[in-house]
Structure 1
Amino acid sequence: MNGVEPGTPCWTDLATPGLEDAKRFYPQLFGWTGRVSTVPDAGGYTVFCKDGRAVAGAGPPATPDQVPIWSTYVATDDADLVATRVEAAGGQVLVSPFDVSGQGRMAVLADPAGAVFSVWQPMAMRGAELFNAPGAMCWNELVTPDPEGAREFYALVFGWHAEERPTGSVPYVGWRCGARIVAGMLPAAEPLPADLPAYWTVYFAVEDADATAARAAELGGTVLVPPRDNPAGRSAALRDPQGALFSVSTLR
């Protein structure tokens, strides 16, 4: 799977009613170029590339009332089996597994606290072609009011093991899949926004988190959490002009 093993975040995309605005905002923020799908029923789905390599996507929302959201896709060998496990573990299957034009098979799911994520069973499209470089996805993190419930759920669904990570005063969990820590979990420190009962956030690596946050605001976005240092680097939480949440990080 081009180095992306089952149980590992492999792709991210944005569902938004403001697709044209997203195709303006993100290329100006990250230096991306866009490649629009020619498949008739793709709704203008756009693959964003950095230095010619696919890093993320964007398309219209699945339903008219869906809030703009960046989705974390976890690689799997069997999307149907994961959907079955999600239901058995108390989660929800929001969109049942379906084939995507020969590119792969996916499903949209939610954990018991409401955090939405997707799975990707690769066919022609294996996932992102660049990780952990400026303009590419570098981390995925669950923010939830129910960390204990999440430990049980994701262990049952993906076989992840929760490991406490030394981060200072805030308890932080790393999700171990085999030999690697593939994602993280942070307990919600304050009431979450009404449209996000719990959520997965996608981090994009940048050269300078402070400059990127300032640029996002200039382009019509919002700085939710100003840049601040953490053990992994320096990060900021942002919203794009349509309200989709994402984070950026300068890696150590």
Structure 2
Amino acid sequence: MAAFAEGTPCWADVLLPDVRAGKRFYGGLFDWSFEEADGLGALGPDGADRVRDGVDRVGSGEAAPYATAYRDGRRVAALAPKRDGRMPTTWNVYFATPDAPAAARRVTEAGGLVITDPVPLTGGLAVIAQAADPGGAVFGLWEAGGQSGFERQGEPGSFCWTEVYTRDKDSVDAFYETVFGFQVHDLDDATVDFRVWSPAGTRASDENAVGGRSVITDAFPAAMPAHFLVYFSVADCDETAARATELGGRINEPPFDTPYGRIALLADDQGAVFAVLAEPEAA
């Protein structure tokens, strides 16, 4: 079982109104296969009941299973059913911690909010919780048990990066550096306000980076809430963006070049937003 340093993104799932449609979209986009009802579940306002059961109970009492996604036989993410239409259709990211209750206490002490207290998953796979930072961005905590999280990452069809978008950078910077002990450095670019996170005990550098903080500026819609953006690695950014539209999704921001590779901002056929990145050697 791979070990993830505290504060390292170790799992991601998407909350969807229609998991079957999600399987068609992401299976077609990233060549994912799926295994259902493995006892996991994304945490919503009443997610503790769901993860104990391992399924989502809709109004009719029908069970809608959590679908774990695999690429080349290795775990990469999951699709989770929404039990309440008021819940957002969104990608969630979980950060590793050796002690979820202790991390949850630090969240509160640092000015954040614990939305769902730490709860064990079925079969002792992990202890997870849901929290929000002082700016309102939601994220998960993951204390590994029998499952540490990703088995594949940084390769095509798998998670490669995450960043939080906020309007309250001062409070949010202090929050994450307190909760996870991140070592940080700011990009040397006067046009971009971006802080890079490296795990506690490492040197702050691009080589050790696990995520970062961006700012919601006036260039973004006024109604955009604080949020985490999840990135997936792809071999060809333009081809993936085109394929997303063929599958019923949309391109929110067309492919563009950065020093880190070619990026596109996409939405699936149910509205969940994510990004794809083709690193320079694969772009």
2:38–2:67 contact (8 Å) kept in structure 1: no
Give the Cα separation in 2 of the matches to 1:193 and 1:17.
26
Aligned counterpart in structure 1 of residue 133 of structure 2, from 88, 105, 111: 111
Deviations 1:6-28 (A, max 9, x none): 21111111111121111110000
Q: CA deviation at 1:168?
A: 5.9
- The one-letter code matched in structure 2 to 1:73 is Y
Give the Cα separation in 1 of the matches to 2:228 and 2:38.
29
- The one-letter code matched in structure 1 to 2:110 is A
2:160–2:231 contact (8 Å) kept in structure 1: yes
Count, aligned residues: 251
Structure 1 range deviating more: 140-149 or 227-236: 140-149
Alignment partner, residue 218 of structure 1: 246
Structure 1 range deviating more: 49-58 or 162-171: 162-171
Give the Cα separation in 2 of the matches to 1:113 and 1:193.
15
Give the Cα separation in 1 of the matches to 2:80 and 2:13.
8
Alignment partner, residue 70 of structure 2: 49
1:151–1:162 contact (8 Å) kept in structure 2: no
Alignment partner, residue 5 of structure 1: 5
Give the Cα separation in 2 of the matches to 1:193 and 1:240.
22
Give unmatched runs, 5+ long, in structure 2: 40-52, 57-64, 203-207
Give the Cα separation in 1 of the matches to 2:125 and 2:269.
30
1:236–1:248 contact (8 Å) kept in structure 2: yes
**Percent of pairs identical after alignment?**
39
Give unmatched runs, 5+ long, in structure 1: none
- The one-letter code matched in structure 2 to 1:71 is N
Deviations 1:34-89 (A, max 9, x none): 11125563231111000000000111136441111111110001111111111111
Determine whether 1:72 maps to 2:103: no
Give the Cα separation in 1 of the matches to 2:214 and 2:83.
28
Give the Cα separation in 2 of the matches to 1:210 and 1:73.
28
Q: CA deviation at 1:191?
A: 3.7
- The one-letter code matched in structure 2 to 1:20 is R
Give the Cα separation in 1 of the matches to 2:253 and 2:211.
20
The normalised TM-score by structure 1 is 0.94
Determine whether 1:165 maps to 2:181: no
Give the Cα separation in 1 of the matches to 2:96 and 2:189.
27
Structure 1 range deviating more: 106-115 or 157-166: 157-166
> As a proportion of its length, which structure holds more strand?
1
Specify the structure having the higher radius of gyration (Cα).
Answer: 2
Structure 1 range deviating more: 97-106 or 54-63: 54-63
2:13–2:93 contact (8 Å) kept in structure 1: yes
SS at match of 1:181: coil
1:167–1:231 contact (8 Å) kept in structure 2: no
Moved over 6 A (4+): none
Within a 5 Å distance, the mapping from 1:164-183 to structure 2 comes to: 164-167=186-189, 169-177=191-199, 178-179=201-202, 180-183=208-211
Give the Cα separation in 1 of the matches to 2:83 and 2:197.
28
Q: CA deviation at 1:171?
A: 2.2
Within a 5 Å distance, the mapping from 1:111-190 to structure 2 comes to: 111-167=133-189, 169-177=191-199, 178-179=201-202, 180-189=208-217, 190=219
1:68–1:244 contact (8 Å) kept in structure 2: yes
Alignment partner, residue 48 of structure 2: none
SS at match of 2:209: strand
2:245–2:251 contact (8 Å) kept in structure 1: yes
- The one-letter code matched in structure 1 to 2:78 is G
Give the Cα separation in 2 of the matches to 1:26 and 1:216.
9
Give the Cα separation in 2 of the matches to 1:211 and 1:203.
16
Give the Cα separation in 2 of the matches to 1:98 and 1:26.
28
Change (3 A) 1:38 1:150: closer
Determine whether 1:19 maps to 2:19: yes
Q: CA deviation at 1:182?
A: 1.2
Alignment partner, residue 61 of structure 2: none
